[in-house]
Protein backbone atom coordinates (compact mmCIF):
# COMPACT_ATOMS: atom_id res chain seq x y z
CA UNK A 1 0.00 0.00 0.00
CA UNK A 2 1.44 3.34 -1.03
CA UNK A 3 0.60 6.32 1.10
CA UNK A 4 1.30 9.93 0.29
CA UNK A 5 2.14 12.92 2.47
CA UNK A 6 -1.52 13.73 3.12
CA UNK A 7 -2.22 10.16 4.27
CA UNK A 8 0.78 10.38 6.59
CA UNK A 9 -0.48 13.64 8.11
CA UNK A 10 -3.92 12.10 8.67
CA UNK A 11 -2.44 8.99 10.28
CA UNK A 12 -0.07 10.99 12.51
CA UNK A 13 -2.97 13.17 13.69
CA UNK A 14 -5.02 10.10 14.59
CA UNK A 15 -2.10 8.38 16.33
CA UNK A 16 -1.65 11.49 18.47
CA UNK A 17 -5.38 11.72 19.24
CA UNK A 18 -7.84 9.17 17.79
CA UNK A 19 -10.72 11.41 18.93
CA UNK A 20 -9.61 14.42 16.89
CA UNK A 21 -12.51 15.74 14.78
CA UNK A 22 -12.26 15.06 11.06
CA UNK A 23 -12.74 18.75 10.35
CA UNK A 24 -9.71 19.62 12.52
CA UNK A 25 -7.60 17.21 10.48
CA UNK A 26 -9.05 18.70 7.28
CA UNK A 27 -8.07 22.23 8.37
CA UNK A 28 -4.54 21.11 9.31
CA UNK A 29 -4.04 19.19 6.07
CA UNK A 30 -5.78 21.72 3.82
CA UNK A 31 -8.40 19.49 2.18
CA UNK A 32 -12.12 18.97 2.74
CA UNK A 33 -13.64 16.84 5.48
CA UNK A 34 -15.19 14.64 2.77
CA UNK A 35 -11.74 14.03 1.27
CA UNK A 36 -10.43 13.04 4.72
CA UNK A 37 -13.32 10.57 5.10
CA UNK A 38 -12.57 9.08 1.67
CA UNK A 39 -8.90 8.68 2.49
CA UNK A 40 -9.70 7.10 5.85
CA UNK A 41 -12.05 4.58 4.21
CA UNK A 42 -9.30 3.75 1.67
CA UNK A 43 -6.74 3.28 4.47
CA UNK A 44 -9.17 1.12 6.46
CA UNK A 45 -10.08 -0.97 3.42
CA UNK A 46 -6.38 -1.56 2.67
CA UNK A 47 -6.00 -2.65 6.34
CA UNK A 48 -3.26 -0.08 6.96
CA UNK A 49 -5.56 1.29 9.65
CA UNK A 50 -6.43 -1.73 11.76
CA UNK A 51 -8.90 0.01 14.04
CA UNK A 52 -9.46 2.73 16.59
CA UNK A 53 -9.34 2.02 20.28
CA UNK A 54 -9.43 3.57 23.69
CA UNK A 55 -6.51 2.66 25.95
CA UNK A 56 -7.06 2.04 29.65
CA UNK A 57 -4.25 2.64 32.12
CA UNK A 58 -4.10 -0.67 34.09
CA UNK A 59 -2.49 1.06 37.09
CA UNK A 60 -5.57 3.28 37.50
CA UNK A 61 -7.54 0.07 38.14
CA UNK A 62 -4.96 -1.23 40.62
CA UNK A 63 -3.02 -3.50 38.25
CA UNK A 64 0.47 -2.64 39.50
CA UNK A 65 2.35 -5.71 38.28
CA UNK A 66 3.07 -6.27 34.60
CA UNK A 67 4.89 -9.45 33.65
CA UNK A 68 5.93 -11.40 30.60
CA UNK A 69 5.68 -15.17 30.69
CA UNK A 70 7.62 -17.39 28.31
CA UNK A 71 5.77 -20.68 27.98
CA UNK A 72 7.33 -23.98 26.94
CA UNK A 73 4.99 -26.62 25.47
CA UNK A 74 5.31 -30.41 25.56
CA UNK A 75 4.86 -30.40 21.78
CA UNK A 76 3.66 -28.08 19.04
CA UNK A 77 0.61 -30.32 18.62
CA UNK A 78 -0.95 -28.78 21.76
CA UNK A 79 -0.46 -25.17 20.61
CA UNK A 80 -4.07 -24.46 19.61
CA UNK A 81 -5.54 -25.96 22.78
CA UNK A 82 -3.06 -24.04 24.95
CA UNK A 83 -3.86 -20.76 23.15
CA UNK A 84 -7.57 -21.44 23.66
CA UNK A 85 -7.03 -21.80 27.42
CA UNK A 86 -4.76 -18.73 27.58
CA UNK A 87 -7.50 -16.67 25.89
CA UNK A 88 -9.76 -17.50 28.85
CA UNK A 89 -7.40 -15.80 31.31
CA UNK A 90 -8.57 -12.20 31.67
CA UNK A 91 -5.20 -10.98 32.98
CA UNK A 92 -3.52 -11.90 29.68
CA UNK A 93 -3.22 -8.80 27.48
CA UNK A 94 -1.08 -10.24 24.69
CA UNK A 95 -0.09 -13.68 23.46
CA UNK A 96 2.54 -14.35 20.81
CA UNK A 97 3.56 -17.59 19.08
CA UNK A 98 7.33 -17.15 18.85
CA UNK A 99 10.58 -18.56 17.61
CA UNK A 100 13.49 -19.13 19.95
CA UNK A 101 13.42 -20.27 23.53
CA UNK A 102 9.67 -20.12 24.18
CA UNK A 103 6.80 -21.43 22.11
CA UNK A 104 4.41 -18.81 23.47
CA UNK A 105 5.18 -15.46 25.07
CA UNK A 106 2.42 -13.66 26.97
CA UNK A 107 1.97 -10.31 28.68
CA UNK A 108 -0.10 -10.27 31.86
CA UNK A 109 -1.21 -7.68 34.40
CA UNK A 110 -2.00 -8.39 38.04
CA UNK A 111 -2.88 -6.29 41.07
CA UNK A 112 0.36 -7.27 42.83
CA UNK A 113 3.11 -9.90 42.82
CA UNK A 114 1.14 -12.29 45.00
CA UNK A 115 -1.68 -12.24 42.43
CA UNK A 116 0.88 -13.01 39.74
CA UNK A 117 2.07 -16.06 41.71
CA UNK A 118 -1.56 -17.19 42.06
CA UNK A 119 -2.16 -16.70 38.33
CA UNK A 120 0.91 -18.75 37.43
CA UNK A 121 0.04 -21.56 39.86
CA UNK A 122 -3.70 -21.82 39.21
CA UNK A 123 -4.16 -20.72 35.61
CA UNK A 124 -0.92 -21.17 33.62
CA UNK A 125 0.82 -24.17 35.19
CA UNK A 126 -2.35 -26.28 35.06
CA UNK A 127 -2.90 -25.91 31.30
CA UNK A 128 -2.51 -29.31 29.67
CA UNK A 129 0.51 -29.20 27.37
CA UNK A 130 2.47 -26.54 29.30
CA UNK A 131 5.72 -28.13 30.42
CA UNK A 132 7.26 -25.11 32.16
CA UNK A 133 7.45 -21.33 31.98
CA UNK A 134 9.73 -18.42 32.83
CA UNK A 135 8.43 -15.13 34.21
CA UNK A 136 9.87 -11.64 33.81
CA UNK A 137 8.41 -8.80 35.87
CA UNK A 138 8.46 -5.40 34.20
CA UNK A 139 9.87 -2.76 36.52
CA UNK A 140 8.87 0.15 34.26
CA UNK A 141 7.77 0.50 30.65
CA UNK A 142 10.22 2.77 28.89
CA UNK A 143 8.78 2.93 25.36
CA UNK A 144 5.18 2.64 24.13
CA UNK A 145 4.57 3.75 20.56
CA UNK A 146 3.08 2.93 17.19
CA UNK A 147 4.99 2.09 14.01
CA UNK A 148 6.48 5.29 12.56
CA UNK A 149 4.66 6.60 9.51
**CA geometry: angle at 66 spanning 128 and 138, to 5°?**
110
**Gap between the Cα atoms of 145 and 83, Å rounded:** 26
The pLDDT assigned to 117 comes to 98
The pLDDT assigned to 1 comes to 79
Q: Cα-atom radius of gyration of the chain, to the nearest Å?
A: 20
The pLDDT assigned to 53 comes to 87
Boundaries of every domain in the chain: 5-45, 58-138
What's the CATH number for 5-45? 1.10.10.10
Spatial contact of 104 and 132, defined as CB atoms under 8 Å apart:
no
> What is the pTM assigned to this prediction?
0.86
The pLDDT assigned to 74 comes to 94
Q: Which architecture, in CATH terms, is 58-138?
A: 2-Layer Sandwich (3.30)
Q: What are phi and psi of 60, to 5 degrees?
A: -65, -20
Residue ranges of the alpha helices (H) in the chain? 5-16, 22-29, 33-45, 79-87, 113-119
**Gap between the Cα atoms of 80 and 117, Å rounded:** 24
pLDDT tens for the 149 residues of the chain, in order: 799 999 999 999 999 999 999 999 999 999 999 999 999 999 999 999 999 988 899 999 999 999 999 999 999 999 999 999 999 999 999 999 999 999 999 999 999 999 999 999 999 999 999 999 999 999 999 999 889 89
**Gap between the Cα atoms of 24 and 33, Å rounded:** 9
The pLDDT assigned to 113 comes to 98
Amino acid sequence: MKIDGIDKKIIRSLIKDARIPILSIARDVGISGAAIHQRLRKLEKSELIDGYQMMINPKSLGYNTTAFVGVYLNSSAVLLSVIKRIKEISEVLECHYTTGKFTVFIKVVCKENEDLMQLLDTKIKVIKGVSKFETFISLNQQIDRQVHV
